[in-house]
Amino acid sequence: MSKRYHIAVVGAGPAGLSAAGRAAHYDREAGVSEPSYVLLEGFNTFAKTIQKYQKGKHVMDEPGFLDLRSEVGFTAGKREEILGVWDEALAAGINIRYDSEVVAIEGEKGEFRLKLGSGDVVEAENIVFSIGTQGNPRTLGVPGDAESDFVRYTLDDPEDFKGETIVVIGAGDAAIENAIALSDYNKVYIVNRRNEFSRAKDGNLNAVLAAINDKNRPFYCRYESGVAGLEMPASPGAAGAIVLSTPTGEERIECHRIIARLGTVPPRKFVESCGIVITSDNPEAVPDVDRHYQSNVPGLYIIGALGGYPLIKQAMNQGYDVVEFIHGKDTKPADYPLLQDQFSGLPYVMDAEDVLDLYQQRVPMFRRMNPLAFRELIIESRIIVSLPPAELARAPQGGERSTAFVAAGEPLYRHGEFSTTFYTLVEGEVQLQLEQDGPWHTIKPGQFFGEMSLISGRPRQGDAVVSADAILIETPRRIMVKLMNSNKEVSSGIDRVFIMRALQAAFRPQLSLAELGDIAGRVETCQFKAGEVLFSEGEEGDCLHLIRSGTVMLTRGGANLVVNQNHSGELAGQMALMGAPKRRDTATAAVRTETILIRRPEFLALVGSQPEHVATLQGRLSDVLRKSNRMASQPQAARAIGFLMGEGLGEATNALVIDETLCVGCDNCEKACAETHNGISRLDREAGASLAGLHVPISCRHCELPHCMKDCPPDAIRRSANGEVFISDSCIGCGNCETNCPYNAIKLSYAAPKKPSLLSWLLLGRGSGPGEPEYFTPSAAAKDAGKKAVKCDACMGRKGGPACVRACPTGAAVRLSPEQFGELVEGH
């Protein structure tokens, strides 16, 4: 005889424990003699994933802005402490059945039948799935990646390994925690296939960056790297090797073992056998649920990691909320007040949950997201409402998360501004240019813009002007990067629009969106490492490259003879399709570069639809040829450009270059820098490379895609609208920017003491005078505050521009962008 329950909770992880705890609360309130619920666990213990955490692991309670709702306690702490609290909660009266794996579900709401592996049947009116995503681990995908002593996919106790070299693959929380724990006794490399740890919790992000920057810890990171191959150990206990594909080529690392923490494959087959629909073919996709966590099967609810929310606190809150709903309570989620505040300035009266549903349905890109992930994106974004200028002054000014108001008819951003936020339009219109003085395009509700700068790192191209009564969602770059990394459908959708708009900007085609989309689907996206060749001088060409991000240098007659440079949004190799198929130059990626490769049929379709623009393309090509030929006739100037490119100035937007034929070594540039920045110079004139009278000192270049901005825990490194990369007061001195900067342009320093007044120095001889070097001993207060990152900010906001340039008596010091290098070397 099967037992019948009001609620069957499947899976005794954090979400399941919380759901069962709330159900137990209702039973106690009702004073029932038999439990109305059951918690079914397939293993012989609860929270098996957390039980498998490494010993002593610190478990975080993020997100910090959410309160916990649960009858079962949880605060940040060691794994053992948390498991102890949950064990006590179970002992206090939660109806749990261990070794009760659910193998099949039949029936419908009110009459579900859960078949167990033992052959028993449990009947339930409602089912709460909290089984997580613990299926088979995702493997490395190269020969030799089967589970072995050399390749492992879990780590129980880091202290089992000592004195070894260990490579940890992955950039999530588990990989970070394993790598840090192992580095106490071993030399550790952590391999991140992306250029930042965008998926990590804040605590783990801080911890991994601190480890990378700790010169006393044998902890190393390889960014933008993947596994190219494995070399298995010759005998048990011997070292093998892993071969990585890195931005600069392949790297072989000898190691004793590899810990791969690449996540797991959700139990899709079982989930779908229960009638639950997963709409995406993506192996990582999770089922769609409504705001009450109900799946397409009425009465069957999905919470926790299987629903797209792996964080413990979020999962436990969902366990509480879903039982509340089943018991007829319309309880608002814990984050509801945050959403209410964000939507407070909207010009209509709607419940925050209804606004959320409306916006997700209105924007096609958002429909591809799990509703809970969309909820998180909104909480991290800013809601913008445009008002007529007369009404703007009367608009309420709320807190940091409240609705923001802007003036209708004014640009959200202007051409040339450096910003990377991403905009989604939900109501109204926005007039958008894709290039300076280019045609205007109307952005309608459901569309997005801002992806060009988000992906390329280049300044905004053209203006974006908002109409009256428009409503937009402005999402920070780091949130969009996280979303694009975790949701392939969203990423591919944004990428497709990027390609279409890049084609529109370059060729101004008179094509329908369907026709343009067809061409966008046929072009090819290419990635090139620094130094990799796109095409070679003398070969027959049948394509051109539209540069998506990075810099391409064109050389002729030798690798160091640079005759031209191309940047994001520009064409390279178009001569092959516009006159002479034989390549005149060699195109090489100056830095890591992405391009859109366009072959002849697609090129002809683009230019054929807009013959009036062909003359513009020909004029631009003529300018390129004249410049290239002029540089080719001046080998010394071409070598100088090659030198500057070799020093990494291809990714600069504002680089300091010194003409050594004019420099008298007075160091006024350094002194002026120190005087302008509280006694600490951001410039080392003598250091750096030189060639043919050109010197590149150690100073910030304000890179196109700043390396220093990657994984800044407090988001302290910002970029002004004019392009200056600067460090805000929120810097915590972690040193990650110093490590990430390939040009040694950032240092950590204590705050310098305030300089005495001019009269105090003149009359009493106190301190150092104007222009004198500052050798200071940090004060106790400065030591307590700790060292903070220091770098050039290009004298942002100061009249007259950079002090180093203004103080140079001979005009030797100049600040310029790569587009100006030709003028510099030709006049040298």
Q: Domain limits of the chain?
A: 3-135+266-332, 151-260, 337-486, 519-633, 645-826
Query: Which token pair is 19?
Result: 């759901």
Fold of the domain spanning 151-260: FAD/NAD(P)-binding domain (3.50.50)
230-248 core/surface letters (b: 16 or more CB in 10 A; e: else): beebeeeeeebbbebbebe
CA–CA separation, 493 and 283 (whole Å): 18
Q: What was the pLDDT predicted at 761?
A: 47
Which H/E stretch holds residue 674? helix 668-676
Q: Is-same-fold flag (3-135+266-332; 151-260)? A: yes
CA–CA separation, 276 and 273 (whole Å): 7
DSSP H helical ranges for 275-370: 312-326, 336-342, 352-362, 364-367
- How far, in Å, are 237, 633, 810 from residue 627 at the CA level? 61, 10, 29
Q: 672 φ, ψ to 5°?
A: -65, -35
Q: 674 φ, ψ to 5°?
A: -65, -45
CA–CA separation, 456 and 333 (whole Å): 37
CA–CA separation, 669 and 442 (whole Å): 48
Show the 3-state SS of 269-286: HHHHHCCCCCCCCCCCCC
Q: Does residue 738 contact residue 789 with C-beta atoms inside 8 Å?
A: yes
- How far, in Å, are 188, 251, 254 from residue 231 at the CA level? 18, 13, 9
Within 10 Å of residue 44's Cβ, how many Cβ atoms? Answer: 8
Which H/E stretch holds residue 21? helix 14-30
Q: What was the pLDDT predicted at 762?
A: 46
**Ramachandran region of residue 256, left (φ > 0), alpha (ψ -120 to 50) or beta?**
alpha
Residue 281, Cβ density class (10 Å: 0-12 exposed, 13-18 middle, ≥19 buried): exposed
Q: What was the pLDDT predicted at 691?
A: 86
Residue with the two structure tokens 């606190």: 313
Q: Does residue 402 contact residue 339 with C-beta atoms inside 8 Å?
A: no
CA–CA separation, 92 and 240 (whole Å): 50
Q: What is the DSSP letter of 185?
A: T
The residue type at 242:
I
pLDDT beneath 70, residues of the chain: 1-2, 54, 134-136, 265, 283-284, 398-399, 559, 755-776, 826-828
DSSP H helical ranges for 370-450: 371-380, 389-392
Half-sphere exposure of residue 485: CA atoms within 13 angstroms, side-chain side:
18
Within 10 Å of residue 563's Cβ, how many Cβ atoms? Answer: 28
Residues near 390 by beta carbon (within 8 Å), at least 6 away in sequence = none
CA–CA separation, 189 and 183 (whole Å): 9
List the one residue out of 696, 686, 803, 782 whose CA is nearest residue 742: 696
Q: What angle do CA 342, 348, 352 make, to 5 degrees?
A: 40
Q: Does residue 82 contact residue 72 with C-beta atoms inside 8 Å?
A: no
Residue with the two structure tokens 């933008």: 224
- Coil vs helix vs strand at 693: coil
Which H/E stretch holds residue 571? strand 571-572
- How far, in Å, are 102, 117, 128, 318, 528 from residue 15 at the CA level? 17, 22, 9, 7, 44
DSSP H helical ranges for 33-190: 48-51, 79-91, 173-182
Within 10 Å of residue 441's Cβ, how many Cβ atoms? Answer: 16
CA–CA separation, 347 and 353 (whole Å): 16
Instruction: DSSP for 775-801, please give it.
Output: --PPPHHHHHH--EEE---TTTT-TTS
Q: What was the pLDDT predicted at 770?
A: 47
Chain centroid to Cα 627, Å, comes to 37
CA–CA separation, 743 and 681 (whole Å): 16
Does domain 337-486 match CATH 2.60.120.10? yes
Q: What was the pLDDT predicted at 444?
A: 94
> Domain 3-135+266-332 maps to which CATH number in 3.65.10.10, 3.30.1240.10, 3.90.1150.10, 3.50.50.60?
3.50.50.60
Q: What was the pLDDT predicted at 651?
A: 83
Residue 359, Cβ density class (10 Å: 0-12 exposed, 13-18 middle, ≥19 buried): buried
- What is the Cα gyration radius of the chain? 30
CA–CA separation, 11 and 485 (whole Å): 28
Q: Does residue 524 contact residue 596 with C-beta atoms inside 8 Å?
A: yes
Say if residue 247 is preceded by a cis peptide, omega within 30 of 0.
no
- Coil vs helix vs strand at 309: coil
Query: Which token pair is 392?
Result: 């703007």
Q: What was the pLDDT predicted at 126?
A: 97
Residue with the two structure tokens 């890179």: 703
Q: What was the pLDDT predicted at 40?
A: 96
Fold of the domain spanning 519-633: Jelly Rolls (2.60.120)
Show the 3-state SS of 463-489: CEEECCCCEEEEECHHHHHHHHHHCHH
List the one residue out of 149, 208, 153, 147 whose CA is nearest residue 181: 208
Q: 203 φ, ψ to 5°?
A: -65, -45
Q: Strands 562-567 and 551-555: what pairing?
A: antiparallel
